Amino acid sequence: MDYLPIFMNVRGQRCLLVGAGEVASRKAALLVRTGATLIVVAPWISDPVRDLVNQHGGEIHERGFTDNDLNDVVLAIAATDDDKVNRHVSELARERNLPVNVVDQTELCSFIVPAIVDRSPVVVAISTGGSSPVLTRQLKEKIDIMLPAAYGRLAAMLGSLRDRVKLGVTDFSRRTRFWEKLLSGPLPELMLSGREQEAMQLFETSLARADDDQSQGEVYLVGAGPGDPDLLTLKALRLMYAADVVLYDRLVSPEIMKRVRPDADKVFVGKEAKHHPVPQEQINDMLVRLAREGKKVLRLKGGDPFIFGRGGEEIDQLAAAGLPFQVVPGVTAASGCAAYAGIPLTHRDFSQSVRFVTGHMKNDEPDLDWPVLAKEDQTLVIYMGLITLPVICEQLQAYGMNSAMPVAIVEQGTLPQQRVVTGTLQDIAGKVEAAGVKAPAIIIVGQVVKLHRELAWFGH
């Protein structure tokens, strides 16, 4: 982030506005909405600015800016059409460590004013760091439409009840679960539809039963997809934000981890070829232990948890322990990476079936059914096969597959740094070595690979 998003309390504080034209009037209106005491300095004062000061109090100084105008103020906004004045205000404010904003000149700002969706006390601030005001406005419009006006009443009601809940539910973790359960139930909808009395009755009933609600933990086994955070399901996003603890794999991209609840404990349990710092048995035990402690545990896996993700082993242990769990499918690497590479896994002219296999080695050799895999009327997708690629190519040819069969390697599929290397069974291993391809990468073998050049769309 280029800017730290904060909300500053300026109620009753002196805030300087240098300039009093049309642009300045919008900043003045925003400041008085927050309860600030407006100090306006300008040779000419527009009627809207004068009216705001007359209605809400403050000071008007009809003259040019002087250095002393920065005395006893908590922030400054320069909104003049004189670049020299704007720069002087910015430089002097920075020398005094005062927050300063110069309208439409981000290089002179120590803070910027975001677009705002106001459902007080719920306030949503949107910013693109000054890079695209039009995009900022469009995002504001979308959120404005989606966020009901009654959310302000809901937030105010919840705020008025916090002290009662704190007295009634003293344990912090249980109190958090109380609020989560309350807000995931019918109470918000009752408030949003104007049935406030019923909402209060529901609150009273829930609070009276809080001591009886001995919430046990739960495990969410969630597929994070191949990397692009836009491929996460809505349910995955909801559970990612609900979890107290996150156990995540190496293939979960940093962009996806940013969607996890910020205050959740994050535990890396990733594995790669010949390197398992946290054995699978230990991961299984951790899931059971954390759930028994009453925590909501997110087991976040790249791709889909039930496709070479060992998710079945994990829920076996959870089921044996009698612990509740949910499974959320993810976009598996085969479909995600192939789609982003412009390679349809099935096609009427080239392939009537698709087969997923893993290239993991057993006794230093891929343990695969080569006669079945060497059939040419199918698409073969090989996970975790980069290390054994030369052996895979040799075996497929040895069992009858044409050495000219097209092959694609998709590295970092669905991410901005995605790279696709194509070749044939005969030469792909050499091309991959020359290109320095590294995991994660997926192997696609079949006639459908021919379509890559024509249908590739991502990054083009």
Between the CA atoms of 262, 307, 330 and 186, what dihedral angle is there, to the nearest 10 degrees? -80
Q: In the annotation, is 249 catalytic?
A: yes
List Cβ<8 Å contacts ≥24 apart for 203-206: 203/161, 206/178, 206/181, 206/182
* Nearest Cα residue to 140 out of 117, 119, 121: 117
Report the C-alpha gap between 446 and 148 in whole angstroms. Answer: 51
Contact predicate 258/338, CB 8 Å: no
Say whether 22 counts as a known binding-site residue: yes
Say whether 226 counts as a known binding-site residue: yes
Say whether 255 counts as a known binding-site residue: no
Helix, strand, coil abundance in the chain, percent, nearest 5 = 40, 20, 40
Say whether 121 counts as a known binding-site residue: no
Say whether 191 counts as a known binding-site residue: no
Say whether 44 counts as a known binding-site residue: yes
The residue annotated as part of the active site, out of 271, 427, 431, 450, is 271
Say whether 304 counts as a known binding-site residue: yes
Say whether 457 counts as a known binding-site residue: no
* Nearest Cα residue to 149 out of 177, 172, 122, 127: 122
The residue annotated as part of the active site, out of 228, 249, 296, 301, is 249
Q: In the annotation, is 271 catalytic?
A: yes
Q: Which residue has the tokens 């720069």?
A: 87
Number of helices (H), then strands (E), in the chain = 17, 19
Tell me, rounded to whole angstroms, the distance of Cα 71 from its chain centroid: 42
Say whether 446 counts as a known binding-site residue: no
**Identity of the residue numbered 238:** R
* Nearest Cα residue to 29 out of 55, 2, 9, 63: 55
Say whether 444 counts as a known binding-site residue: no
Say whether 416 counts as a known binding-site residue: no
Both tokens assigned to 6: 């904060």
For CA atoms 190, 194, 199, 201, the dihedral sign is negative
Report the C-alpha gap between 217 and 209 in whole angstroms. Answer: 18
Burial of 337 (0-12, 13-18, 19+ CB in 10 A): buried
Both tokens assigned to 310: 């060992």
List Cβ<8 Å contacts ≥24 apart for 121-124: 121/152, 121/155, 121/156, 121/159, 122/147, 122/151, 122/152, 122/155, 123/7
Residues 6 or more apart whose Cβ sits within 8 Å of residue 354? 334, 345, 346, 378, 379, 380, 381
Say whether 333 counts as a known binding-site residue: yes
Report the C-alpha gap between 142 and 124 in whole angstroms. Answer: 12
Say whether 179 counts as a known binding-site residue: no
Both tokens assigned to 392: 């895979």
Active site residues: 249, 271
Please give the annotated binding residues for S-adenosyl-L-methionine, written as ranges. 226, 302-304, 307, 332-333, 384, 413
Please give the annotated binding residues for NAD(+), written as ranges. 22-23, 43-44
